[in-house]
Amino acid sequence: MDLTLLKDRPVEWLKAGPESDVVVSSRVRLARNIDGYPFVGRASERQKARIEELLRNVLLSAEIDPPLHYVRLDQIGPLMRELLLERRLISTEHAEGDGVRAVAFDDDERVSVMVNEEDHLRLQVIRGGLRLDEVHERADALDDLLARRIPLAYSAKYGYLTACPTNVGTGMRASVMVHLPGVVMSQEMDRVIDIVRGEQLTLRGVYGEGTHGAGDFYQISNHVTLGPSEDEIVAAVAGAARTLVELERAARSNLRTKHRGELEGRLGRAFDLLASASTISSQEALSLLSQIRMGVEMELLSETRLQTLNDLLLLTLPAHLQTMEGRVLDTSVRNELRAAYVKDRLSTG
């Protein structure tokens, strides 16, 4: 597959869905290992190669609809790995790892399967909006399909066995990406933290553990995998997501009612800055796009469409920008091209 073509396709997790003014996307990820093989961190290169070969044959021969594309990460360059990372098809650890490893994904990029990441197999399903039940159902069906073809490492006492003890049990991470600019502007993030902790969940940045909430985007996911069932985990994350939807919408309503002039001025300045900047960093662009996205959703800005903003959230990231240009660029050149690209897209709506 020519990975450079991905730059021309919108990603599933930025498409509109239920509650997508606040809940950008829903994802379920399952960690699995093949019985009889050591975990990836303890496996020899020969064993990792055997695991990759076995899983490649299974993934490409299984009756998965739609069929999966299969890419060996150790056979592509760092720019293409970063492109896959920005599209959330692989993790940071998978992009930066070494040895034989791969990813399989479908045309819609709803399904992706990482091979030889921390675990032998990490299956994820992702969709735009609050659709945790739906993505869980799809992930569960794929898990069952693969389990009929692969002997999985499983304990009657502990559940699925994983490289990291925090994944033992269901091996599931259910997560939502939420956009909380109103909460941040209202200085109410403490309430978000309390809600998350109260449900024994985890708050992270867009690209997982160790990242921060750039552009007021955050991931909410379960912390516990051993004990609660998959259905209980999904229900807890979905419940927290609905609470955050109410909190964010209330914050936006309060800003509109009590601080409309200040809010409109701030949103207008954000748009003007993006539309006129001659150079802008990825972080600056994300922060300003976040504000403008809220303005469009609140019908306080009409200069551009929501889909344009969603496209820009992805296409202004470093690997996408460089792939569009067809070459590796240093930071200063990327910043100039990003500003020019954003300006052009905003001028056309």
- Chunked into runs of 10 residues, the chain (349 residues) has average pLDDT values of 89 92 97 97 97 97 92 97 96 95 96 98 97 98 96 96 96 97 94 92 68 77 95 97 97 96 94 95 93 94 89 93 94 96 87
Which pLDDT score is estimated for 213? 54
Which pLDDT score is estimated for 208? 44
d(CA 99, CA 163): 17
Q: Where are the beta strands (DSSP E) in 1-78?
A: 23-32, 69-72
d(CA 273, CA 278): 9
Residue 17's nearest CA partner among 118, 111, 157, 133 is: 133
Which pLDDT score is estimated for 349? 67
Which pLDDT score is estimated for 63? 85
Longest dimension (CA), the chain: 64
Which pLDDT score is estimated for 257? 95
Tell me if the bond preceding 318 is cis, omega within 30° of 0: no
**What is the DSSP secondary structure assignment for residue 67, as one 8-state letter?**
P
Phi/psi-derived region of residue 30, left when phi > 0, alpha when psi is between -120 and 50, beta in every other case? beta
